[in-house]
Amino acid sequence: MLLEADVHLYLFLSFSLLAVGVYGLLSRKSVIRMLFAVEMVINAANLNLAVFSSQRNVNGEIFTFFTIGLAALEAAVGLAIVIVFYKRFGEVIPSKIRNLRW
């Protein structure tokens, strides 16, 4: 069981991860940086699930494992798209992502 002060620290850490992830998504400097930002947002949600499940005796760990699997799938598909984009156009710039349309 976590103490009340520990819960606040974990929630602050989760909010910090969320804020950095959202900033990384909105800055749109690089596709790889955007993929890492999505991973940070997912990790912030995982941290919240784990903290609240330990506090309320809910099965949040099961949801956390499920979202970790989804995050791994998202990373694999995202990197595959980046590789295809690089092979086709020779560079990876987020503003030119619309070129992948038919």
Q: What is the pLDDT of residues 42-96, one digit of tens each?
A: 999 989 888 888 777 777 778 888 888 999 999 999 899 888 888 887 888 877 7
Instruction: Please report, as a single letter, which amino acid is at residue 62.
Output: I
pTM of the model: 0.80
Alpha-carbon distance values, 63 to 17, 92, 96 (Å): 19, 33, 35
Question: Is residue 80 exposed (0-12), middle (13-18) or buried (19+ Cβ within 10 Å)?
Answer: exposed
What number does CATH give the domain 1-96?
1.10.287.3510
Query: Distance from CA of residue 31 to its chain's centroid?
Result: 13
Q: Domain locations in the chain?
A: 1-96
H or E stretch including 91? Answer: none
